[in-house]
Amino acid sequence: MRLGPRETHHVRVHPFSPGQVVALRYITRADATVGMTWPARVVEDSDDLLALWIPAGAEYRAWHTPPGEPRRLVPATWRRETLRLMFPGRAHSIWCTWEGPERTFRLFYVNLEEPFRRTPIGFDTNDHTLDVIAWPNLRWEWKDLEDFEALVRSGVFTPPFAAAVRAEAESVIADIEARRGVFASAWPAWRPPPHWTIPALPAGWNEVPPVPWERRDWAYRPAAAH
- Which of the residues are catalytic? 143
Distance CA 42, CA 19 (A): 5
Handedness of CA 201, 202, 204, 207 (dihedral sign): negative
Distance CA 126, CA 165 (A): 13
Handedness of CA 146, 149, 153, 157 (dihedral sign): positive
- Strands 21-27 and 34-45 turn out to be antiparallel
Interhelix angle 145-154/159-178, rounded to 10 degrees, is: 160
**Contact predicate 117/125, CB 8 Å:** yes
Distance CA 212, CA 184 (A): 33
How large is the C-alpha radius of gyration of the chain?
Answer: 17
HEC readout, 126-169:
CEEEEEEEECCCCCEEEECHHHHHHHHHHCCECHHHHHHHHHHH
